[in-house]
Structures are given as C-alpha cells and as structure tokens.
Amino acid sequence: MIFQNKWLKYGFFLAILAVCVGCDQQTKLMAKEQLSYAQPIEYLDGVFKLIYAENTGAFLGLGDSLSPNLKYLFLVFIPTFVLFLFAVTYFKSSNSYGQFIGMSLIVGGGIGNLIDRIAYGSVVDFMNISVGGLRTGIFNFADVAVSSGLILLLISLYSIKKVNN
C-alpha cells in the first residue's frame, strides 16, 4: 500500500466516507424538499433530469415485491455484511491508490444508501440521464460514488494485471 502510516490511511478512508455520505445525505434532503411535489426539471434539452423517486427495492427497484422479512434480509442485512467484509478485506491487503480510492467510494456510497434503507425503508433517487436513445434509471449521489468506485477499482486491477504480465 502506498500509505506508510496506517493512521493516515484510516484518516483518508474516513475523509472519503464522510464526503460520500455527507454529499449523499445532503443531496437527498434537498431532493425531498425541492422535488418531492414538483414536476421533473430538465436540463440540456432533457439530457439531464431531476425527478423525485423513492426506491423501496434494490438497484432499479429489484426486490420491491419481496415479503417484509425477506426484503429486510435482502436490502439491509446482506449489504451491511458485505460492506463489513469489504472493509475488513480492504484494510488487510495492500492496495494501489486506485484500488484504495475505488473501494472507499464503494463503501461510502453503500453506507449512504444503507442509512436511508434503515432509517426510512426506502432510498431517495432523483437524477436521470439520457444518452443517445438510452435513458438511465433514476439514481442518487451514493449510486454515482459506488459506480465511480467500481470503475476505478476495475481500471486499477486491470492496470496491475497488465503490468504483472
């Protein structure tokens, strides 16, 4: 790992988590206040939309029709357990900057959505993008952090694999 001091590593990890969770929770609060009873707001001729939605399922509403007990297991317990394992594995192995930041973003975004699941039973989503003829599902800042972290992690792992071959 690139950090010689473990406290610096932990501090940097906590700073990324704080930024992810803070931005996520603040933007969701703003979405609730500004968008929950408003018509969708379009920018760039509809390429980017702000539209309020509460997602009681997982990614793009998956699992929305499960029974309450199964939904709790699927949407709260399993993600919490996976985040815990991810963080433990993360601190035990040596990682590149890309891996470190990527995993930190994934954990931070996961915590942001997990807070909503536990506190409210659903996650606030409010952004939507159209690219060509394709339109994304409605998402939030935590989803952006998780997706960005995953992309950074995969690029980093691919780069390391390429260097080692």
| 143 assigned to active site | yes
Q: In what order do the strands lie in the sheet with 41-43?
A: 41-43, 48-55, 123-131, 134-135
The answer to whether 108 touches 145, Cβ cutoff 8 Å, is: yes
Catalytic annotation on 24?
Answer: no
**Residue 135: what residue type?**
R
Residue 45 tokens read as 């001729």
Q: Name the catalytic one among 24, 64, 116, 143.
A: 143
Beta carbons of 28 and 20 less than 8 angstroms apart: no
Catalytic residue among 24, 45, 64, 125: 125
Integer Cα distance of 98 and 74 in angstroms: 29
> Catalytic residue numbers?
125, 143
